[in-house]
Amino acid sequence: MMKRSISRFFTRVVPALIVLFSSFSLQAQDIPTDPAVISAGEALFNGNCKTCHRVKQKLVGPALAGVETRVPSVKWIFDWVRNPAKVIASGDEYANKIYTEYNKSQMTAFSNYKDEQILSILAYINAEASKVEAAPAPVAGAAAGGGSSVPSTYLDTILIGMVIILILLVIILALIVNALRKFLNQRELSSEEAEVVNSPITIGSVSRSPGFTFLVIFIVGVVAFKSVIDGLYSIGVQKEYQPKQPIAFSHKIHAGQYEIECKYCHTGAMKGKQANIPSPNICMNCHTQIKQGTTTGTGEIAKIYAAVGFDPDTQLYSGVTKPIEWVRIHNLPDLAYFNHSQHVNVAGVTCQTCHGPVEQMDVVKQYSLLTMGWCIDCHRKTDVNTKGNAYYDKLVELHNSKKAMKVEDIGGLECAKCHY
């Protein structure tokens, strides 16, 4: 008897308590305000939600500010996030309302999200929503391209100064010539000498003089030599290379306007050598629903559908696929090894440092030189990102210098770091 009551306690009362407790906590709308939770929520939001949602702005999906007050309950959000189709199918009134409001485009399911993860996203949304609109910060300028150069204002000043000095020199020389001629004319000269002294300086006389000929040849020679050398150095350097791509994909719209995180599509940047050009199935995460572009209409998006074999009307895949042949912009020679994860993951370098303001480019171009000098220059100037990385602990300890530890100091200029 005792046994049975205990088991009844466990089978009935405990779940009831759990439900009571959890519903209590949810009804209290106990959305955390802990900064750590908010930052965790921010990472999740940027990585997964931001492609379709903004906090204060309607995008593919509704603006999320104050969402927990609009929807029936916080628990409803949990269900919805994990399986929106099920919520719609259950005949839930609110769910069906927004489903029809957003042209029957259904949200992606995030079935493996835990309650606390969803709560952290809500925490982030609340924190964002309560922020006063700050003036938009200008996009951080990317680090200057290669080559060390004197700041241009100095250069201008120096040049102007030199020109003034030269002009003054010419004037002084002209005055000296005049004075000398006067002086000579005051003396008795033979007619031949007088002719020489008084011969006017004309363009013809100057251009025929051997000094002038030499000067011209010298300048032409130097310029030609310089341009040949520059030309040779530029072989294979494709800075500003901006080829036409098979699909007029605009980073300005996706990364700029919609602020989709770079690594959402370029999945390899944190993991491995290649950042990866996204496979069209990543495009289809959004473009199963977004069938029309803001500037190109259906034309360009239809090319994705052709590649993956998708029929936007029936929402079915035919199974016939055709890979998209993008034109490669950044071409390193085979002899150079470059690994994205070393730079993006370990060093924490932003994408824009090397690729420039991609979020402002309609058509992507090569922003940096991608020459060895350019690489090395950065390795000389950049501090090693040792914070929180136990790999570098010993090196930091042994780096007994007041200057920060640069990549150069730990072998960043060695041949076999990139060539093997």
Partner 1 sequence: MGTTKKTYWKGLEQLKNDPAYIKNADKEFVNLGAEEDPGHSRRDFLKMMGFSVAAVSLAACETPIRKAIPYVNKPVDVDPGIPNYYASTYINGGDYCSIVVKTREGRPIKIEGNSLSSVSKGGTSVPVEASVLSLYDNYRLRGVRIGDKSESWETLDKEVIAKLGEIAAKGGQIRIVSNTILSPSTLAVIEKFKAKYPTAQHVQYDQVSYYGMMKANEASFGTAFIPSYDFSKANVIVSFGADFLGTWLSPIEFARQYAATRHLDEDHREMSRHYQFEANLSLTGANADYRTPVRPSQSGLAVAQLYNLIAAKAGKGMVSGGLEGVANLDKAAEDLWANRGNSLVVSRSNNKSVQILINGINDMLGNYGSTILPNMPVNYRKGNDEAMSSFVSDAEGGKIDGVIFYNCNPVYDHPMGEKIAAAVKNMTLSVATNYTEDETGSAVTYKAPDHHYLESWNDAEPKKNFYSLSQPAITPIFKSRQAQESFMVWAGETNVDYFNYVKENWKNWFYAKSGGTMDFQSWWDKCLYDGVLEPGVADGTSMSFAGDVAAAASAVAARYKADNKGFELVVYESCGVGNGSQANNPLLQELPDPITKVVWDHPITISQRDAAAAGFTNDGESNTHYGALTVGGKTMNVPVLIQPGQMPGTIGIALGYGRTKVGKVAENLGINAYPFLTFSDGSIGLSTFEGVSLVKTETPFQLAQTQTHQTYMGRESVIQESVLSEFKKNPAAGREFPKITKWDEKVDPSTLSLWKGHDYKDHHWGMAIDLNSCTGCGACIVACNVENNVAIVGKDEVIRRREMHWMRIDRYYSSDGKHGDYEAMEKASENPEVVFQPMLCQHCNNAPCETVCPVAATTHSTEGLNQMTYNRCIGTRYCANNCPYKVRRFNWFKYHDNQQFYQSNPAMNTDLGRMVLNPEVTVRSRGVMEKCSFCVQRIQTGKLNAKKERRPMKDGEVITACQASCMTGAILFGDMNDENSAITKLLKIEKDPKRPYGIDKKIGNPRAYRVLEEIGVKPNIFYLTKIRNKEEAKGEA
Residues near partner 1, by CB under 8 A: 231, 235-236, 238, 241, 243, 267-268, 271-274, 276-282, 307-308, 321-328, 331, 333-335, 337, 339, 341-342, 345-346, 388-395, 398, 410-411, 414-417, 419-420
Tokens of 107: 């949200």
* Residue bearing tokens 């150095």: 233
Give least dist CB 399 to partner 1, A.
8
Q: How many CB atoms lie within 10 A of CB 41?
A: 26
Give least dist CB 209 to partner 1, A.
37
E strands present in 99-253 = none
Amino acid sitting at position 47: G
| Residue with smaller CB distance to partner 1, 76 or 241 | 241
| Residue with smaller CB distance to partner 1, 9 or 225 | 225
Q: How many CB atoms lie within 10 A of CB 335?
A: 8
How buried is residue 392: exposed, middle or buried, by Cβ count under 10 Å (0-12/13-18/19+)? middle
**289: closest CA among 63, 86, 107?**
107
Longest dimension (CA), the chain: 148
| Residue with smaller CB distance to partner 1, 5 or 420 | 420
| Residue with smaller CB distance to partner 1, 272 or 312 | 272
Q: How many CB atoms lie within 10 A of CB 109?
A: 14
Do 55 and 129 touch, CB atoms closer than 8 A? yes
Q: In sequence order, what are the beta bridge partners of 317?
A: 310
Backbone torsions φ then ψ of 206, nearest 5 degrees: -65, -50
Give least dist CB 252 to partner 1, A.
20
| Residue with smaller CB distance to partner 1, 73 or 238 | 238
| Residue with smaller CB distance to partner 1, 187 or 387 | 387
Query: Residues 6 or more apart from 304 whose CB is under 8 A from it?
Result: 247, 280, 283, 284, 287, 310, 324
Tokens of 269: 């940047």
| Residue with smaller CB distance to partner 1, 61 or 309 | 309
Give least dist CB 118 to partner 1, A.
24
| Residue with smaller CB distance to partner 1, 152 or 391 | 391
Give least dist CB 267 to partner 1, A.
7
Give least dist CB 398 to partner 1, A.
5
Give least dist CB 102 to partner 1, A.
26
Tokens of 113: 């999200």
CA–CA distance, 367 with 355 (Å, rounded to integer) = 5
Give least dist CB 260 to partner 1, A.
17
Give the sign of the dihedral formed by CA 146, CA 152, CA 155, CA 159.
positive
Give kind and range of the element (H or E) at residue 169: helix 152-186
